[in-house]
Amino acid sequence: MNLHLLTSLLVTLTNAAFETQQHWIDNGRADIRRAWASVPNYNLAQNVILMVGDGMGVSTVTAARIYKGQKLGKYGEDYKLAFEDFPHLALSKTYNLDRQVPDSAGTAVAMVTGVKVNMGTLGLTGEVPYQKNCSQVREDRKLKSVLDYALEEGKSVGIVTTTRVTHATPAAAYAHVPHRDWESDADMAGIPGCEQVKDIAYQLIMDNPNINVILGGGRQAFINNSSSGGKRQDGRDLRENWKRHRASSGLRYAYVETKADFDQINPDTADYLLGLFELSHMTYELERNASKEPSLTEMVDKAIRILKKNPKGFFLLIEGGRIDHAHHDNLGKKALEETVEFDNAVRKVTELTSADDTLTVVTADHSHVFTIAGYPRRGHNILGIVDDMPENEMPVDKMPLLTLGYTNGPASKRVNYTEVDTTDNNFKQPGCVQMPWETHGGEDVAIYAQGPMAHLLHGVHEQSYIGHVLMHSACLGEYKNDCDLDKREKMKSGFCGTSRPVSSIIVILGVLFKVVLDMELL
């Protein structure tokens, strides 16, 4: 018996019968009850956390939900990821200022600055094009991010990613360059007129000394090319610059490159932590050696425990960055496993923080041309071949159809997958159009939010709106002097904009309705 028939048989034999009519009635009532119980949180956000699943479009979320549920022995379709339980949901329009389908640099800048910019640029207004040229870079065209504004208010700040810490998404929070690939000075070699524009790694260490936590990969951009794996041509070892600055300032700090050293860090006695665990990106979760590299969840845990010591609060940017990389190579299983680990990190965030004072926004920078199709049976292996296809719905070439696929990418040739292990970690789902790598998708992505002012994410928004919500929730940046705390207090009291008697009646009616619902559910 082949793998796919065995999988179908196991699903049939081991899963319970489908839900009954009463299940869906009870389920609907419970959702109504939760919706009625949801009350906008008008508190001032002491902490702000932006979590970006790079490339985590809606189809990726759906497939990861099913994949994670099936790993737990469930059908999968009815499973919920941690962030899918957040009470507020919206859609983000991801286009760049100059592109219909975006890249990760322009989208990340939009989210952390509140301003849409050109593809491939970091921290610069739309007047600066994406090019290997510095002629358009000026001080008045540099954008400030939520991270910058949080530092101005005395908050702690951190960046955690599974990519290089100089890669597009993390760099959007601190760097100002017209080309996202300028991660080290070697990447800028031979470009005239750029003497005043420093590379991204230099800007992170030398221009942003107050970032408390930096965790991820990308060590190559920080060390000299005379060292193993190093790229720098200026003779600097930015790791040593980072350590010397903190030592000379009498700060409590630690630099780590291994999991063993990372595990030894006590968050109570370290206020600054730099961890560069790989020369380039960190290892895919499916291949990660747990004794050598921390997981995204472990990095998030350490970062929050360090940052939350600041009584003024913190801002933390978290990126599950390798979802995107797996998709670019048509590696569906790896993309889903990265999404599952990202979801684990979300769960850790909710354990370590309170929705009373922490705004957590989970979203994607863009989508991918990743699809789920073919009418497979409920509970069928999400990584498998579509089962029970009617004759009139079979592919024209009569070969099996996979549930997961791409519309373009490096794996374009269809083959007969009947005897192929499509659940293998390195199996590539086919794309329709062969390309060096699969491309991003241009459709909207979801925004999931909980905490103070999360209800402001409520419909279809420009991606730049996310930055405004982050700032408004904590009265930062654009909203430092335009943040009506008195109005928030009135809204919390339930009578802002209306009279006390009317407000009281509304509250009483709401309570009575909830009581009736509770009685009906008993």
Hey, which residues are catalytic here?
104
For residues 240-263, one letter each, b for 16 or more C-beta atoms within 10 angstroms of the residue's C-beta and e for the rest, the string is eebbeebeeeeeebbbbbebeebe
For residues 299-324, one letter each, b for 16 or more C-beta atoms within 10 angstroms of the residue's C-beta and e for the rest, the string is bbbbbbbbbbebeebbbbbbbbbbbb
Q: What is the full DSSP assignment across 282-332?
A: PPPTTT--TTTS--HHHHHHHHHHHHTTSTT-EEEEEEETHHHHHHHTT-H
- Please classify residue 473 by burial: count the beta carbons closer than 10 Å to its beta carbon, then call 0-12 exposed, 13-18 middle and 19+ buried: buried
CA distances for 235 relative to 186, 207, 275, 392, angstroms: 11, 18, 21, 66
Q: Is 339 annotated as a binding residue?
A: no
Strands 367-368 and 440-441: antiparallel
For residues 413-452, one letter each, b for 16 or more C-beta atoms within 10 angstroms of the residue's C-beta and e for the rest, the string is eeeebeebebeeeebbbbbeeeeeebbbbbbbbbbbbbbb
Q: Could you tell me the two tokens for 220?
A: 């190559």
Q: Is 167 annotated as a binding residue?
A: yes
Task: Please list, in sequence order, all residues whose beta carbon lies within 8 angstroms of the beta carbon of residue 361, skipping any fewer than 6 positions away.
Answer: 49, 50, 51, 447, 448, 449, 454, 457, 466, 469, 470
Q: Which residues pair with 433 in a beta bridge?
A: 408
The angle formed by the CA atoms of residues 58, 145 and 168, to the nearest 5 degrees, is: 55
Which residue, 230, 78, 235, 109, is CA-closest to 172? 109
3-state secondary structure of 121: coil
Dihedral pair phi/psi, residue 13, rounded to 5°? -80, -35
CA atoms within 13 A on the CB side of 177: 30
Q: Is 319 annotated as a binding residue?
A: yes
Q: Is 169 annotated as a binding residue?
A: yes
Q: Which residues are annotated as a binding site for Zn(2+)?
A: 54, 324, 328, 365-366, 440
Q: Which residues are annotated as a binding site?
A: 54, 167, 169, 319, 324, 328, 365-366, 440
Q: Which residues are annotated as a binding site for Mg(2+)?
A: 54, 167, 169, 319
